[in-house]
Chains A and B, each alone.
Chain A
Amino acid sequence: MTRGLATRLTAIGIVVAIVVLLGFTMTDYHRGLGARVGIYFIAILGLNILIGYTGQISIGHGAFMAIGGYTTAIMSNYHHTNLIATLPLAFAITFVCGVLVGIPSLRFRGVYLALATFALAVSVPQLPLKWSKWTGGSNGIRTHTTPGNTWLYEVTWACVGLAFVGAWLILRGRTGRAFRSIRDSEIAAASSGVSLPIYKTLAFGISAAFAGVAGSLFVLVTNGFAQPNEFGVTLSLQILIGAAVAGLGSLYGTIVGALFVGLLPELSSSAPLIGSSHGQDVVFGAIVILVMLLLPNGVAGLLHAIDSRVKSAIKSDPTAS
């Protein structure tokens, strides 16, 4: 497998180099854009852990982003907490929330789980309106200091690196194997001693925690302003789209998914003919459908297909050494 490992490390190396290079050469405005791509990366990574590795469908990650985002805004606003310090705090809080959500989810399967998490996505953003005294309600709440785009770019992509390495470590060990066995067959996993409740809720917790950090960064990149309209259903749907485009069950398509969701809406508005604020959705929606029709297993599936085609070509080539 050394060839495979070498290819992957090279790919990662290239991405890291591009990120760093762009960081130095991009305009300030584009750094903000780059930070947004990184935020989607983290959220999509988290969702992939849940759907791709344990087979539990969640359409509610916008809710966890909201929790993380509001944590950062509130802590910074009321206690002037250092912005970076709010990130692990958001991580911890959303981890707990994720586990709590995971517990009743043990009872739901498939589409019912999807709808239950969808219910979360819809309901959680309403809550700040209810407790408006602490959360600023519909007028939102802002952090004490607002970071600039350069800071955001650096911090976000540092978090991306941490998240990627963290995910990779979790998924290659025993936990990862347990996750995959649950995805492939819960009954087989249970009968071979994998504790379903522990691992399923753990997956929910980790996945939510990633989304929570993404949410904190999301608020920071929105001028430190947290407000319910930012965390609508469309956000959860966008992360889901990103995860699908990335391809489930593999970490390597994530960057494409993040780029897709982070940049395409922006690019759609300058598309010819229907490009405009109105036409943006038309183009984005059409492209999403097309991508799914052509690549139902996402980019990871495409990479896998290319990979196996290359392998079989090598195998069947009599002149290969």
Chain B
Amino acid sequence: MFELIGVAPQALFGQLLLGLINGAFYALLSLGLAVIFGLMNVINFTHGAQYMMGAFASWMLLQYLGIPYWGALVLAPILVGATGIVIERLFISRLYHLDHLYGLLLTFGLALIIEGLFRQQYGSSGLPYTNPIPGGTNLGFMFLPYYRAWVIVFSLVVCFGTWFMIEKTKLGSYLRAATERPDLVQAFGINVPRMITLTYGFGVGLAALAGVLAAPIYSVNPVMGANLIIVVFAVVVIGGMGSILGSIVTGFGLGIVEGLTKVFYPEASNTVIFIIMAIVLMLRPQGLFGTPR
């Protein structure tokens, strides 16, 4: 067995794998944030709460209706996305003519409400969710649990599927056009308000999907989204919200960096992403993939 700078390869690759998984969540969440921000100019502070709702939805589907993980993987994002559509219609749609900051404040308030309700109902200790694909395989240099491999592969597929839909399809071209000039697109007979509503639902659905994927790895917990969303904000600032591909690369990349920090300098593992954010802001304020204004 080889030794890497005094670190056992088992620990190194184990943390690398965990980093990749965190990176998958960062990518899925920042992707949703970027899609929503692109079209609506709203930073969705509720995103963390909606990720948590996704995890809870899969737990509830199993607990109350007996629907297994694979059903929840489809149903939970649709259900949570539908609540997102209701939220957009009831609240957020009233703020489009105002300063963007009000969207941030509103969604922050909504996040507090959702988190408070779940804490009231389920307490703040976690609920367990059984791993749907137990077991794993020994790769020689590390042990690879099947479920973690599945999370990485599946989230990559979802990320690139989203990228393909937005960059390469007709629907995506409408979306991109509406991001630039909603008034003109509307004049061409496309129902932009409905498109905005559905886009918000889609972004929320992505957050919920990340929640479903997270449920078997981390325990299902009302506060699981609150701290994660702040890290995702930093990820978004580092990457810049200009490009879909940029969000994906930054998300996975920062997850790996965080994993490596856990191995080599664990004290900084909580803060490394924020430090990177500060450095990026000093050197390239618009973000790695952002366009300067």
Whether both chains belong to one complex is answered with: no
